[in-house]
Amino acid sequence: MSEHASRQATRIDDIQGRFDPWLLGVVLALASLGVVMVGSSSIYQDADPFHYLSRHLMFLGAGAVLALMAARTELKTVERHNHLMLLGCVVLLLLVFIPGLGVSVKGAHRWINLGVSNFQVVEAVKVLFIIWLASYLVRFRDEVNATWSAMLKPLGVVVLLVALLLLQPDFGSSSLLLAITAGMLVLGGVNMPRMFGPVLVGLPVLAFIAVLEPYRMRRLTSFMDPWADPFGSGYQLTNALMAAGRGEWFGVGLGSSIQKLYYLPEAHTDFILAVIAEELGFVGVCVVIALYAVLVGRALWVGLKCVEMRRHFSGYLAFGIALWIGLQSFVSIGVNLGLLPTKGLTLPLISSGGSSVLMTCLAMGLLLRVSYELERAQRQVARLRGEDGEGVAPLSPEPPRTPGTPRSSRPSDASPRGTSRLHQRIEPVLGRSP
């Protein structure tokens, strides 16, 4: 490589990206709101009024460390270990059934004992599975659209994971995982007519599983008319609706909720939005919904920009995280407002819950990394093209060439035949020295 090309390589390598300010800002806003509302909703639920708030802050601090580590890790390193992600999903879901390690709460085997705290393994499975599926869609992007086998393979994998989840049992997370898979396949370019077959088969099966257990049937019937049994199956929903009704437009004031005083179960976890509705009113609920809309919309926008630059793994990873946060927050909000049957899904970044907080923070770190590498790639391409922008100076002109010497060509976006799709990205690729 000539001295000029070496200097050019150094300049390109020195270019750094930046985290998307919209993503970073909305994540911090949701996490801050969560701290305030966990403190308010749990202050009367233990002898120590700050017990749950202290735990939430501890897990949030650990989650911030995980997010920082994820934000500083190259995505190509994450992509390289995609098979370990899938193996990790299966192993984690099996660990809950090991005596002494798995923890049973109210008949459900969803947690493992880590000594200092219990950990709900499905929260980690969501992150690991999204990473694996994003990598799969990169490796078999054309085949997923063209063949049945490539489309059915990820569906078979998620059915295996769902089967293990239903043994715990965890119907809510199973449905969420299936919805994320379907959404990522659609955004990954799957042939839509082929998707109708698995969907038409899967929906009746899910409905049958839902009504198979008596407690699920009670949730469905109480959802239709919670006031028919307000002290039994409709107890949670009736208290949540009373909390929302008391809030009216602007709420009764921060800390002034009555329903959180032992009336509303799980006020600091699954039903924290009901406390928000009571204390901050309709306006507060609208702010929460708007924050999630910005987070999900911005994540989808970042993913789309990545796909346009042929950074497909980054794009699909952003799509998966956006679908996860969007669907889970939609279900949680719907449950709290009586729009959906009761399910045990937390409100991401707001609800208390160590496992959820840790893994959601990790996912946000990955999402910020996607935005960082997208910005870096855009700035590097602008530098190669000699464009000014955001403090990036253009390249110095090429040295004079002798007559008859061909001009060095601009790096091509297209990969040569036989090159893996992992390299079909818009990245700074230096040409040969003259």
- Tell me the pLDDT tens digit for each residue of 143-179: 888 888 888 999 999 999 999 999 988 888 999 999 9
- CA–CA separation, 338 and 237 (whole Å): 7
Mapping DSSP onto H, E and C, the string for 116-154 reads CCEEEHHHHHHHHHHHHHHHHHHHCHHHHHHCHHHHHHH
Q: What is the mean pLDDT of residues 384-402?
A: 50
Q: What is the pLDDT of residues 194-215, one digit of tens each?
A: 888 888 888 888 888 877 777 7
Q: Coil, strand or helix: which one is 389?
A: strand
Of residues 46 and 75, more confidently modeled? 75
For the cut 70, the answer to whether the pLDDT of residue 19 exceeds it is yes
Task: Give whichever of 49-53, 121-125, 191-195, 233-237 has the largest mean pLDDT.
Answer: 121-125
- CA–CA separation, 388 and 354 (whole Å): 45
Per-residue tokens: 404: 């008859």
End-to-end CA distance of the chain: 9
pLDDT at position 421, please?
A: 42
Q: Coil, strand or helix: which one is 111?
A: strand
- Helix boundaries (H) for 72-213: 75-80, 82-95, 121-139, 141-146, 148-166, 171-187, 192-212
Cβ neighbours, 10 Å, residue 182: 19
Task: Give the closest residue to 333 by CA, choosing from 350, 357, 353.
Answer: 350
Q: Are 314 and 131 in contact (CB under 8 A)?
A: no
Q: Coil, strand or helix: which one is 309?
A: coil
pLDDT at position 170, please?
A: 87
Half-sphere exposure of residue 182, counting CA atoms within 13 Å on the CB side? 18
For the chain, the average pLDDT equals 84
Alpha-carbon separation of residue 9 from 4, 6, 13, 388 (angstroms) = 9, 5, 6, 18
Q: What is the mean pLDDT of residues 34-44?
A: 91
- Helix boundaries (H) for 309-422: 312-336, 354-384
- CA–CA separation, 304 and 310 (whole Å): 10
- CA–CA separation, 357 and 355 (whole Å): 6
DSSP-derived letter for residue 233 is: T
- CA–CA separation, 370 and 35 (whole Å): 26
Q: What is the mean pLDDT of residues 116-129?
A: 92
pLDDT at position 389, please?
A: 46
pLDDT at position 234, please?
A: 84
Q: What percent of the chain has pLDDT over 70?
A: 85
Helix H or strand E encompassing 224: helix 214-224
- Helix boundaries (H) for 252-347: 272-308, 312-336
Task: Give the closest residue to 130 by CA, choosing from 171, 85, 97, 164.
Answer: 85
Backbone angles phi, psi at 120, to 5 degrees: -85, 110
- CA–CA separation, 109 and 111 (whole Å): 6
Of residues 30 and 398, more confidently modeled? 30
Q: What angle do CA 138, 315, 147 make, to 5 degrees?
A: 35
Q: Are 318 and 373 in contact (CB under 8 A)?
A: no
Q: Are 338 and 273 in contact (CB under 8 A)?
A: no
Q: Coil, strand or helix: which one is 267?
A: coil
Cβ neighbours, 10 Å, residue 405: 9
Task: Give the closest residue to 126 by CA, choosing from 92, 75, 149.
Answer: 92
Identify the residue whose tokens are 């992992």.
422
- CA–CA separation, 238 and 244 (whole Å): 10
pLDDT at position 399, please?
A: 45
Q: Strand 118-120 and strand 108-113: pairing?
A: antiparallel
Backbone angles phi, psi at 48, to 5 degrees: -90, 110
Name the band, by pLDDT with cuts 50, 70 and 90, for residue 415. Answer: very low
Q: What is the mean pLDDT of residues 313-324?
A: 96
Name the band, by pLDDT with cuts 50, 70 and 90, for residue 5. Answer: low
Of residues 423 and 45, more confidently modeled? 45
For the cut 70, the answer to whether the pLDDT of residue 393 exceeds it is no
For the cut 50, the answer to whether the pLDDT of residue 138 exceeds it is yes
Q: What percent of the chain has pLDDT over 90?
A: 51
Q: What is the pLDDT of residues 232-288, one digit of tens each?
A: 878 888 999 999 999 999 999 998 888 888 888 888 888 999 999 999 999 999 999
